[in-house]
Structure formats: structure tokens, C-alpha cells
Structure 1
């Protein structure tokens, strides 16, 4: 029996949208098993980011996705090599907005940067929501 090909990815996955879904779908096509590490609220704070939804909700949404086999918390930048070794990962996948930033993982597994879905991002959605709230408040 062949050993399953394991793929791993990381992300905040706030305001889950079609770009997230397509990333997970394409990541799963590179292996038999997809493991997703979702950034905790504490780790996001260290990165200077904040999420609309708490970690528990974001992790539950990712866990419900048909392409995802396992979900774990991402608590630090440094955990990736240990995760790759612990879960016998063959391929690390992330969006191409990170191109080159994870090349240090190449001695441990394949590293693939997938193109982002054009026209959508959580950051963009947050900006649109903020603008709509500003317009709404100015009309009251």
C-alpha cells in the first residue's frame, strides 16, 4: 500500500470566501490528505492582524470544508518545520502573495505557491464593509 501524499497549508481564513475555497480545492488536488493550520487569535495579534471571527469559528468553517482532512491551530511562524516532520508532509502550499517567503521549507518538502483568486481577499472585504458602514453612518 502506498503512503498517502500529505499536503499542508496555513492561513487566517477570516471572512471565508471563494478565494479560500479555491485555494483549499487546488491544494487538495496535490495530495491525498490536506492538513490546514488556522492562525489563532493570539498569533494574529502578534502579526499585527485582527479577525472578525474568533479562531474557533474560523477553524470550524475550515473543518467543514469537503477538501480538508484535518485542522490544527497555527500559533507561531516557527512551527512549520516541526509540523512538516510530524505529519510526514510531502507538499507545502500557500498563496502566491507569499512567493519566496517559504522557500526555506524546500529541504523538507515541495513548496508550491498557488495564484490567488483575482478580485477577492479578506482585506478587501473588510475595506468594503468599513466603507459601507461609513456611508450608512453618514446617512443617519
Structure 2
């Protein structure tokens, strides 16, 4: 069985997230999704609208997702080994340091939509 790892904050889930996870699943048989914890998101300058529990529940409802894990630290080679990850799918080159641990696949973000854009739009309407 080929295991794929995708990751993200997944705050205010939208079509771009759906496409990202559908494309990620095509690289293997079993899709694990790391959802960034509230603490780690804040450490990285993000302020999620939904808490980690709600975000995990939303992602676990996707048909293509087999397992959801809360991520509260940087992804390490040991984590990939423990989960027996064959492919990691990402939208950034930040995780290229893991290329010796598994295959890294870069997927383009869906243009014109992001949680930040949605939040900004909602704030403008107030």
C-alpha cells in the first residue's frame, strides 16, 4: 500500500482544499492529512477562525481522506518513517529538506481562492 501525506491549516475549508486533497490521493492508496494545530498555526503567524478540533473534523469528512492527524511541530524525517510515508504532497518548496525521506510532490494552489481571501472578503462586507 502506497501512503501519501498532505498537510495544511485548512481553516475555512474551500474548493482549493478539495482539489488539493483529491490530487494528493492520486499519488497513492492511503491519504493521511496533517492538520496544523492551533498553537503551531499561531506560532507561524496565522490566526485560525476554526479551532483544530473543528478543522480536523471537516477534513476527516472528505471521502478521499483516510486518516487525519493533528500536527503540533515541524515535520521530521522520523515522523515520515514512523507513518511509513511514500509520498508527501505540498504546495510549497519549504519541505524539500525531507526529500531524502520520501518523494516530495509539489502541487500548484488553486488560483483566486484561499482562506485568507475569504476572511478578507468577509471583513470588507462588515
Q: TM-score, normalised by structure 2?
A: 0.96
Matches within 5 A, 1:30-49: 30-49=27-46
Query: Per-residue CA shift, 1:77-136, capped at 9, x if unaligned?
Result: 1x33222101110100011xx1x2111111010001101111100111111011111xxx
1:59 corresponds, among 56, 65, 78, to: 56
| Alignment of structure 1 residues 19-98 onto 2, 5 Å | 19-77=16-74, 79-95=75-91, 98=92
Q: List structure 1 segments (4+ residues) > 3 angstroms apart after TM superposition.
A: none
Structure 1 runs not aligned, ≥5 long: 134-140
Name the SS for the 1:92 alignment partner: strand
Secondary structure, aligned partner of 1:101: helix
Gaps (5+ residues) in structure 2?
Answer: none
The DSSP-based 3-state class of the residue aligned with 2:42 is helix
- Aligned residue pairs total 126
CA RMSD of aligned residues (A): 0.9
CA–CA distance in 2 between the matches of 1:25 and 1:69? 12
TM-score (norm 1): 0.87
